[in-house]
Amino acid sequence: MNFSNCIAIIKEITVNRLMSYLKKTYASLGIISLILMSIPLLCTQKDTWITVFVHGIMSIKPHLTFGNFMRFMRDDVEDTIYSKTVEIMRNDEYFYLNQAMQGFGLEKIDIYDIRKETSANATARIYNEMKQLAGGPDVDNHYYTFDWSGLLGPTVRYKAAEKLFNALVNELETYWQQGIYPKVQLIGYSHGANVCLNLAAIRQDKFPLSPLAIDELILLGCPVQTETDFLVVDDIFKKIYHVYSTADRIQRIDFFSFNRIFSRRYFKNRHGFKVPSKLMQIQLKFVRNTRSKRYNHEKRYQYAHNFNSPSIISGKSPFLRDISPGHIEFWFFGWSPKNYRENFIINPLPAFVVLPYALHHIKQVENSLKNPYPVIIDIRPEHETMLIKQRKHNKFTKIVPFVSQADLERLNSIAYQVQPDQYDNEEYNNHIYSAMRKAKKIIYYPRKNNNDKFESRHTRARMRKRKLRH
């Protein structure tokens, strides 16, 4: 219970009511004293937050054949080599080693168990450390992963959302039984974000009376689609932050639908849909100093730190370089074998771990911002500075300090403690193609039928044709 609620409780106990109580027995005086003594305890009680990380799809690159392309378009991916391959990959712990991923379903994270090959633990620990660096109220945080099939398709995401819905309700009930009423924060990455949005569809379709509420929904690199964009309006979501990067090329290339050509980068008003004011759209941007022989390091630092210059504020100065995160850099650690740059400014950290710090400062100036127009979070780690900017329909700039280089190094050291010994491109591909070979054997090669005979799928098809002829 926060301070404002405590004040409201005190106001409710008016002087007249206290006087009437005093006229009663001494027992009443004891009750009053107990109530008054409990008020400080209520004021100091911590809020409890549950944060759930929801991963995106597994790689479809090896499966981009014409046949699979049409299956993706028709939303018909189950019981295929692709689905079986992804199922095998999802059960291979090798793919857990560079992101917040554990076993299937809702699993709690131990943020104090930091050892080699525990990437989910490290992700939550770094995220929690960033919350502490941001300041704010003392909160009791609990972290989870929700792991789903990772298949590409709206039907699969809808089914995953139903499992997430039930898992959240069951977990919350265990807290409620202890008299604890946690707030819920979901962080969905890529199509994991669309799984989170589908919670609204699940409640509308199957559990309209459910008390489940999502206090904060964070969408990371979410492919914005007409199939799910309208779900942000649902009352199940109290506050939504849609975080994107202009350097994220993958976010917009989901074209596997007959209803649209490509997915969008951010939410827009359209016929029958208006972006709600509870949705804040945030462009996450990282900027670093350029390397130049013309000026020495000290002079370049001074020029790049001159915030009286409009070009420095905008980030378009020749002394600065935009190094915003790509799709992989949003979520994965720096030892990911593909598409994570060695020179990324906060390597080896996933970019989204800065969000607790950024959101804390955004909330301080939220009344000065206009939703749903994008807000730019411009982070310059070399200068230990962060700029909060809004340009569309609002000329707003706020310069605040960012975490120090020493703190970043400390967070990096947590990440390096869980880095696996061998995690290169060759080994990564070996695990993918090993899963594909196993999937083909399961789909194509002999299976046992009811008569204990072994027949392949093709053999059964030939036998059906023979029966038709006869």
Mean pLDDT by 10 residues, the chain (470 residues): 48 47 45 45 71 88 64 69 84 91 93 93 96 88 94 89 97 95 96 96 95 96 90 96 94 63 83 92 94 69 82 88 94 92 94 97 93 92 95 88 96 95 87 86 61 47 49
Distance CA 410, CA 151 (A): 36
Preceding peptide of 348 cis, ω within 30°: yes
Distance CA 351, CA 344 (A): 10
Handedness of CA 54, 58, 61, 64 (dihedral sign): negative
Quote the tokens at residue 210. 């459910």
DSSP secondary structure letters along 183-241: EEEEEEETHHHHHHHHHHHHHHHT-TT----BSEEEEES--B-TTTGGGGGSTTBS-EE
Distance CA 43, CA 328 (A): 42
Quote the tokens at residue 17. 């009511």
Distance CA 94, CA 114 (A): 17
Closest CA to 220 of 335, 353, 340, 390: 353
Give the distance from CA 185 to its chain's centroid. 9
Closest CA to 105 of 55, 46, 32: 55
pLDDT of residue 295: 62
Q: What is the CB neighbour count within 10 angstroms for residue 136?
A: 12
8 Å CB contact between 418 and 115: yes
pLDDT of residue 3: 45
pLDDT of residue 142: 97
Distance CA 101, CA 50 (A): 16
pTM above threshold 0.85? no
pLDDT of residue 347: 94
Distance CA 211, CA 76 (A): 33
pLDDT of residue 85: 85
Q: What is the CB neighbour count within 10 angstroms for residue 285?
A: 20
pLDDT of residue 86: 85
pLDDT of residue 173: 96
Q: Which helix (H) or strand (E) holds 61?
A: none
For the CA atoms of 69, 70, 76, 78, what is the dihedral angle to 10 degrees?
A: -40
pLDDT of residue 296: 64
Environment class of residue 189 by beta-carbon count within 10 Å: exposed (0-12), middle (13-18) or buried (19+)?
A: buried
Environment class of residue 59 by beta-carbon count within 10 Å: exposed (0-12), middle (13-18) or buried (19+)?
A: middle
Distance CA 42, CA 29 (A): 20
Quote the tokens at residue 262. 């490509």
Q: How does DSSP classify residue 94? A: G
Contacting residues for 352 by C-beta, under 8 A, at least 6 apart = 187, 189, 218, 220, 243, 330, 331
Task: Please name the amino acid found at residue 312.
Answer: I
Distance CA 143, CA 185 (A): 10
All structural domains of the chain with their residue ranges: 3-44, 48-423, 426-469
8 Å CB contact between 88 and 390: no
Q: Tell me how long the chain is.
A: 470
Residue 20 has φ and ψ, to the nearest 5°, of -70, -35
8 Å CB contact between 142 and 124: no
Closest CA to 123 of 220, 195, 191, 47: 220
pLDDT of residue 455: 47
